[in-house]
Amino acid sequence: MNRDDVLSRRLARQRLTGPAAPTPADVVRELLCVQAQDAALARAMIGLRCDAASEAAVRGAIARGEIVRTHILRPTWHYVAAQDLTWLLALTSPKVESGMAARHRQLGLDDLVIDRAAAVFEESLGGRRFATRAGLGSQLAAAGVAAPGQPLFGQQVGHLLLLAELRGLICSAPTDAPDHHYALVREVVTPAALAARSEAILELVGRFITGHGPVALTDLQRWTRLTLKEVRGALEELDGRVVATSVEGSELWQSTGVTAATRPRRAWLLSTFDEAFLTYKQVGFPRSAGHLAGAAPYRFAEAGGGPVICDLHDVGGWKRTLRRGVSTLNLTLDPGLDAGQRAAIDEAADRLLVVLST
């Protein structure tokens, strides 16, 4: 197997060239979680992978409670299938929370403050009274948990909400409201039976490799915060279902079943945070010789766009602008691309615009 084989298999397995998934929830469940701080583009990337092929279909799945948006796996937003929420939080949240302990001390968020905030959220959201961040911030202020006149107020509110999400108290509400609303998890998500930690690790490792492979174990560790010892232990249990191969000096793991590329395409516009792009630090898309960014790294805090992929190379970038509800895509491409490559990229841009507008 060479680099092109690896990249092609990933695109097929993630349903960008393989068979479209039946529903948006199927896409999210197969990927386990989909990074979603750029919520609109995350929905579009899900839409590209399923039969519905529209952002509206993904919003519908969220409104029905099939998919929730919350902080999970790492201290950032993800979409996750509702049925996977509780066990994933139980497995991964303690390490995420411990990694933020110093920041929470700086913000004055001790156990007493965190418990008082949780009580406010319980009271404010109980009975499916969904609320926005601003609304819950006002409730925290009214209860004396945080002072709105203080310079750290906004950060305190954000981290108190984040902690409540990591602890499985709140998540996104099943609503089609344009603004993000919160709900109590116990009122909108049917809890999954919590498996033993070893069983949960096995589930996570197996599904991550199946949904993202071929993938390096270091990528899996970054994505899940599991230890290498835990990952290696799961691999022993998965013997026969996942296999390793060496590509350019990197050990990569994949499931034994290979997904066929039934929708072959030369080009895609991916979000910076897309699972087919951001996941992989080893054996990723190489940049084309004339890429205008040269060797400069991507700024992963930047939303609203991402890389242009053509012929398994990163050949440029794109940015979305939204005016009066109409999306426009601005592309910055390697000037050395030929006419066929540019035509394939134009087709990919049109495909993304259809998803964003429907």
pLDDT of residue 305: 94
| Whether the predicted pLDDT of 192 surpasses 90 | no
pLDDT of residue 296: 86
| Whether the predicted pLDDT of 124 surpasses 60 | yes
| Angle of CA points 99, 100, 103, to nearest 5° | 140
Comparing 327 with 140, the larger pLDDT belongs to 140
| Whether the predicted pLDDT of 267 surpasses 80 | yes
| Angle of CA points 225, 156, 161, to nearest 5° | 55
Average of per-residue pLDDT values in the chain: 95
- Residue boundaries of the structural domains of the chain: 21-188, 267-357
pLDDT grade for 300, boundaries at 50, 70 and 90: low
pLDDT tens readout for residues 251-264: 999 999 889 999 99
Mean pLDDT value of segment 236-244 = 94
pLDDT of residue 301: 57
Taking each helix axis as running N to C, give the angle between helix 197-212 and helix 217-224, from 0 to 180 degrees, rounded to the nearest 10: 120
Going by C-alpha positions, the residue among 193, 179, 202, 172 that lies closest to residue 72 is 172
pLDDT tens readout for residues 15-35: 999 999 999 999 999 999 999
